[in-house]
Every structure is written in C-alpha cells, then in structure tokens.
A and B are shown apart, each in its own frame.
Chain A
C-alpha cells in the first residue's frame, strides 16, 4: 500500500433543502488500499459517494481524485479519469447481451446513451485477439460464460452483481467505489464478492466499500472510515473501533434526555 493519496475530500458539505446530509466531511484514501466506509443509517455515506462521483454537486468543499479537482465535473467526465462507482441495485445495459455489457465496461460508462454504448460495443467487438482472449477469461472467471449471449435484463440479482464486477475488472479503474455490494446477497456469492474485491486490489485498483455488513468489512478492508451525522468521526483499523467512544455512541445512540 502506498502513501500517495488517490482521493482527497476536504470540508465537503451538502444540504438538501434544510437537511444537512454531509457536514464538513474530510478524509483521505490512500492509493492501493481497500477502505470500508461505515456508519449508522443516515450518516451520509451514500451522499458522499454521490458527491465524489459527480452525481450531486456539493454545497461547499473540495474533492481531488488522482490530483484533479473533480467538483463540478459530470459523472462521465469523472469516470473517464478512472473512477467507477456502483449503486445499491446493480445497473446494467438491460438490452445488451452479457458479453457486450462487459465490452462496454471497457469504455466510459456513466450517463452514456444506449445508442452510443451500442455503437461502442460494435466498435469494441472488432478489437484484436488479445482483447478477445482477456474477455473470454473474464467471462469464465465471473462464471458468465454460459449466459454470455443472454440479455442482461433477464439475469438474477446475483448474476447482475457478478456482471458488475466483470465490467469493473474490464474497465481497470484506479478507484472503485462500491455502494452496499452485499445487499441481498447469499453467503456463497458474498465470498465471491470478497474475492473480487481482493482481486481488484491486486490489479492495482483502490477500493472504497460502503457496507453495513461489518463482519464482511472486517474481513475485506485494510482500514475503515466511520461517519456519523454527515462527518467523519474516526479513521483507522477495524479492531480499534470498539474502544472509540464516539463510534460506540454513533452506533448505539445517545440516551441523553
């Protein structure tokens, strides 16, 4: 793990109407690490992801990704810099085949029109044999080989998760942000997802995982960032959390009258 920062968030805030979702949030993610972003319901974790990936615009604050200031950039511009994010429910190109979904994973993903992605798939299909070989390996690795020509819309929830990881692996992003990848996932697939995250790390990608399955976080992440009420209240190793009073208060609630 290097000490270079891949993502620097500084004084980030976002209000929706009168509600402050993110409140002066500051954190640094080191390149090559797997970081769990945790915290109780409503802590602002998903809002931070939306701000970092350009899906929402902050009220104030800075986000630097790989040294580039990304506030004000569109999601597709940010993804082209090498950041991929997922959503709580997998999103895929419904009408493309499984293999074409992985193919377009190689090009820029977010907010691209279906027409453009279709032509991108056609263009990418003509690429050289080495790519085809890699693609075949990916399909096999994520057990999508038998359903490679099925339309993505018909896949099960678990298959959609695997497709998502195949697309990420094809795109080779510098930073991957996963929003609750374990939601509605059975234990076997859960193991597979943990493995996929470790593989991303091995391939050089930095991974941020928002998840409330804490045993999974403990097993998968190098360190954790804990949020509560829109701010970061702790960052460090998972096994240090137990002794952090602010973290315990955030999880168990305050009983002051």
Chain B
C-alpha cells in the first residue's frame, strides 16, 4: 500500500509552514505531501491546528513563513479564487453549500468560472454521487447531513481539481453515514484526485487513508503509512500519554 503511495506524484507540497490568526502562530513549521489518487489524513487531538493548516494552504489565512506548492508551482498566499484555477479545491467544515439554492444550482455555482462543459460535469458528478443525482432539484437546505457533505464535495469537484482539502466531512454524521461518506471519498480518489482530509475520528480516518500525519499543538509530530500509525503505540502517547 505505502509503496504505491510513494510512487504516486506529489500534487500538494507544504514546506515548513507557519500560520495563525494574527497573534502567536497556531501552526508552526508544518511539512506534508499529498499524492495523486490517494488519501492523506491529518489527525491529532483538539487544538492541534489541523483546520488552521487547511485554511493556510487554501489562502483563507496568511502563511507567515514557509511555502505551499500545488503541482510543483508555488501557491503560497494566493487568494482562494486564484487557487481554484491552480487546481486546488477546499471544502470547509461549515457554510460549504448554499441552502436556498437547489443541488443543481449549487453545482453550477461551483462551476462558475468554468468556461464550458458545466452540464457535462454535473452529469459526470451525478455518476460519482448517485445520491445527488436523484436530488438535483431539491434545495440544499432540505438535504440530509450526509447528502449535504456529498454536495459540498461535488461542488468542489466542479472545476476538476487535482487536490482537494476536506475539513471534517463526516462531522455530525451517524457511523453508517460516515462509512458511506468515506466510500465516496475513496471513489473520488479513484478518479485521480489527491485528497487531504482532516477528521476528529483518528482511527476511522487512518483506516481509509494511505498516509497519515499526526499533529499536536500546532506541530507535526509523526507521519507514516496510515495502517502502521493505526497500530502505533506512539500515536496514543501523543494524544493522552505523559508529555514530560
């Protein structure tokens, strides 16, 4: 598993990134790779800075030092609207769909800067997300939590990204729906997209990812093949072990 992973090209490279919200930095000196067609999981206890890292990569907050490369081109501190053209999609945890618009309209909004092929892309995504295909005319606000997460992902895919950042896509979903969502995430990687996912449920995300990074209090503490991390006692130490 990890051999195939390491052979895949790097689509997102984060090098020694430090960022925060103006005061002291929330994340410090974080380095990671996301590879084509694979799932990279960022895990770690509360307050590790996982979501902040995604915001720094996607231009929502400023990177104060370090570099971000998408497809080998530097994208550090590019605004989000420019980053989508560099093939990076970011799906935030909240406010990721327009509740008053229909599913189809949401997807059209996602493809707003697309010059042509919007309808074809919606058709293609309908194949990937059969649940959404059935609900194209429904208002996004009337969807179930699981469907809404899928819509948020599908919206991000409207511009054919090579890299997709998902911030807690399964938050608030029942275990069964979480499984369904992870299956969808795996289907998306099968189309060649490199996915970087942040999740609270460490064990579950490591079971679906190929590579994992463990962050603690803003720093990258450990990384490796997800399967190995899943059974690594050191990971438990990083969460609840003695620190001193």
Identify the A interface with B (CB < 8 A): 40-41, 157, 184-187, 212-215, 218-219, 238-239, 241-242, 247-248, 251-257
CA distance A252 to B47 in the complex (A): 14
User: With contacts A184-B23, A252-B203 known, is A257 near B179, CB below 8 A?
Assistant: yes
User: With contacts A40-B45, A40-B200 known, is A157 near B244, CB below 8 A?
Assistant: no
Cβ-defined contact, A256 with B175, below 8 A? yes
CA distance A212 to B21 in the complex (A): 19
User: B74-82, B123-131, B158-166, B232-240: which one contacts chain A?
Assistant: B232-240
CA distance A35 to B18 in the complex (A): 32
Q: How far is the CB of A235 from chain B (nearest CB, A)?
A: 14
Cβ-defined contact, B46 with A41, below 8 A? yes
Q: How far is the CB of A210 from chain B (nearest CB, A)?
A: 11
Q: How far is the CB of B146 from chain A (nearest CB, A)?
A: 15
Cβ-defined contact, B243 with A255, below 8 A? no
Q: Which of B42-94 contact A (CB under 8 A)?
A: 45-47
CA distance A257 to B239 in the complex (A): 22
Cβ-defined contact, A248 with B204, below 8 A? no
Residue of B21, B235, B244 touching A252 (CB-CB under 8 A): B235
Closest B residue to A184 by CB, please name it: B23
CA distance A254 to B206 in the complex (A): 11
Cβ-defined contact, A241 with B217, below 8 A? no
* A218 CB contacts on chain B under 8 angstroms: 242-244
User: With contacts A253-B201, A253-B202 known, is A219 near B46, CB below 8 A?
Assistant: no
User: With contacts A40-B45, A40-B46, A184-B23 known, is A248 near B236, CB below 8 A?
Assistant: yes
Query: Which 7 pairs from chain A and chain B are nearest by CB?
Result: A253-B201, A255-B203, A212-B46, A186-B24, A215-B243, A212-B47, A251-B239
Q: How far is the CB of B17 from chain A (nearest CB, A)?
A: 19
Residue of B45, B179, B242, B243 touching A251 (CB-CB under 8 A): B45
Q: Which of B189-244 contact A (CB under 8 A)?
A: 200-204, 206-207, 217, 230, 235-237, 239-244
**7 more A-B contacts (CB under 8 A) besides A41-B46, A215-B217, A253-B203?**
A214-B243, A247-B240, A248-B239, A251-B239, A252-B236, A255-B201, A255-B206
